[in-house]
A and B are shown apart, each in its own frame.
Chain A
Amino acid sequence: MTTLTHEISHRPDFAMVSVKLEAGQKVQAEPSAMASMDPNILMKAGFKGGLKASLGRAFGGESMIVNTFTAQNGPGEVLFAPGTPGDAVHYALDNSTLYLQRGAYMANSDGVEVTGKWQGAKGFFSGEGLVLLKAHGSGDIFFTSYGAILEIDVADGGYIVDTGYIVAFEETLQYRVRTVPGMSTGGKIKSFLFGGEGLVCEFSGQGKVWIQTRSAAPFLNWTWPFRPTKNNN
């Protein structure tokens, strides 16, 4: 298991990931994530993990292309910046799997494969899209989100997250889409249609879930009335 020496600075609002590579060490990242790097770092673009994994990433809201950064003739540093204002989190995979929301992937070390995982109707109604990203293997993965990221330890009681606020969760957690507990059927329908809180994700089992402190869609709704408009009449 390779471990990358890394540091995440400027958290949580404008997080930046700095990875210090030893000679010959590699890190892979989504296109356009690289902000700066030492001159001895070689960047190479390619379809990582073959066609299936690449397509999986594409359906999971990522690029099919992954850039590989390799330190040549000595150590070097690469800095990665996420596309949105928000947090970045490091997670060490230990022959395990981490599920990520669409577009949350930023970078990973060797030994980790990032692909898509079909969720179907469950994914659709959970607000996470039809395909989740799945990172599997042993190594490091960095994921990002709009807003800050909170790590939650789910214990036996389970945990409920509003759809659209899930950033990542561990494979040991079971998740299902359900209606808000403790509401009457009429209340549920009313809430689903007008309250915007109709469906939630319930996590159960033991493990961690990462949630974001802001969701992009409500923010866009909030900015909508302020957008500049052109009057054609």
Chain B
Amino acid sequence: MDDFDDTFSGGVFHADIADGRAGASIDCGVSALSAVTTTGARFELRYDACTVRIGGASGRMVFCRSLDQSLTIFCEQKGFAAALQQAAGGLLDEGLAQSKSELRGANARSRNLMFGLCLGCVVLLVAGYFALMAAGRAALAAAPPSIDEKIGELAIEQMDLKGSVVEDPAIVAPLEALVARLAATDPDDPFSYTLTVVDADITNAFALPGGQIAIYTGLLELADSPEQIAGVLGHEIAHVTERHGMHGIARSLGLVVAIQFLVGDAGGLVAVAAEFGRFAAENAYSRDQEADSDRLGVERLHAAGIDPRGLAGFFELLERETASDVDIPSWMSTHPDHAARIAAITTQAQRFSNQTYTPAIPTADWDALKAALSPTVTTPSPPEETSDGRDNR
């Protein structure tokens, strides 16, 4: 009688079984499904008295149920649906097809929901990111300049400057006078500037929030004219006035800290911010921020009566330096695209109507500065001739 000889493994739901459910081996007979449970109980379900449905956790389980719903035979094994369809000779085709289409519909709805949720998450993330940035900017706008100063002071204290601080007035005094001259161009500037000259053969200068500016003797050595130094300082001052470092910190610290800045709980945060500030100083500002600082630096130089082309001149100098030097100075690596910047500075400088400039540092002071620099860097003094008395010749 059982011509359709495939035996499938599945299960049975029936009230007579302990727990109401058991595993079973299932045969698709000529007129009925038969299932023998693992405990030996036998159940039959006639094709003309049963409904089929596909479902289960996998979405592939076939359930055959008696019309009075007392018996359910189910199977997930591959090929069962096809064998069942064949054995039932068309009796269950409609039910299977309907169940399949229902399942497809449900799957599609579920997929749509999942897709929508994923999309929602992405939108929330993106919106959250921009909200965070906006909140950071808002918090920064609300933060008083005294916070910049606090962070800058802490940061420079904690920093490894990679060299000792130069205190020789011949070097420091004219540079401080230059900074003061540049700062005086904007009476509304809330920041006061502190210049630190560091004795190290590094062609670099950097600005920290709040007006801390550091310049290396390596850069002073390299410079041909005081205007080039003035250009670099003008550029660094612009980083301070535009609070570029603080923007970097606000980005790094994120919303929570931004809000705490607003609320005013600065205590421990300032230390963290100083850490970030140090990081920002040691790493590049964005290209836009550099371009901004160039532009504002040039304006400030012009306003101070100093030839702003000094900044372009310094870049040209750097370009020549790096062409002959494999070891790229750090100033170079954090300030890319020199040619474009030189061009932008030159164009901007040409547009000023009144171009009468005075030297950035009086010539005598500049010569003294250069002279004072030499021994600090090119230290090897000629070995002194000594006689120990025993040498009679």
Contact = CB atoms under 8 A, between A and B. Distances in A.
B122 interface: no
B20 to A, nearest CB: 8
Interface residues of B, number: 28
A175 B55 CA distance: 9
Given A94-B23, A95-B9, A138-B23, A177 B57 contact: no
Nearest to B115: A121
A94 B267 contact: no
B113 to A, nearest CB: 7
A1 interface: yes
Nearest to A198: B117
B110 A176 contact: yes
Interface in A154-206: 156, 169-179, 204-206
A205 B56 contact: yes
A104 to B, nearest CB: 15
Counting chain A CB atoms within 10 Å of each CB, which of B9, B57, B76, B113 scores highest?
B57
Contact of B11 (A96, A99, A121): A96
A125 B22 CA distance: 32
A138 B24 CA distance: 12
A206 B267 contact: no
Given A96-B11, A205-B63, A206-B13, A121 B114 contact: yes
What class of interface size applies to chain A in its complex with B? Answer: 20 to 34
A204 B38 CA distance: 26
Nearest to A171: B57
Interface in B38-83: 38, 53, 55-59, 61, 63, 69, 72, 74, 76
Nearest to B17: A94
Nearest to A156: B69
Contact of B110 (A94, A99, A177): A177
Nearest to A207: B21
Contact of A1 (B38, B69, B117): B38
B264 interface: no
B267 A233 contact: yes
B114 A177 contact: yes
Interface string B105-134: 010001001100110000000000000000
Interface of B: 9, 11, 13, 19, 21-23, 38, 53, 55-59, 61, 63, 69, 72, 74, 76, 106, 110, 113-114, 117-118, 267-268
7 contacts: A94-B11, A95-B23, A171-B56, A172-B13, A173-B57, A177-B114, A179-B113
Closest 10 CB pairs of A and B: A94-B23, A95-B23, A121-B114, A174-B55, A233-B267, A171-B57, A205-B55, A176-B110, A232-B268, A172-B56
Given A171-B56, A172-B11, A172-B74, 12 more contacts: A92-B19, A94-B38, A95-B9, A95-B11, A97-B57, A122-B114, A156-B69, A176-B106, A179-B113, A206-B13, A207-B21, A232-B268
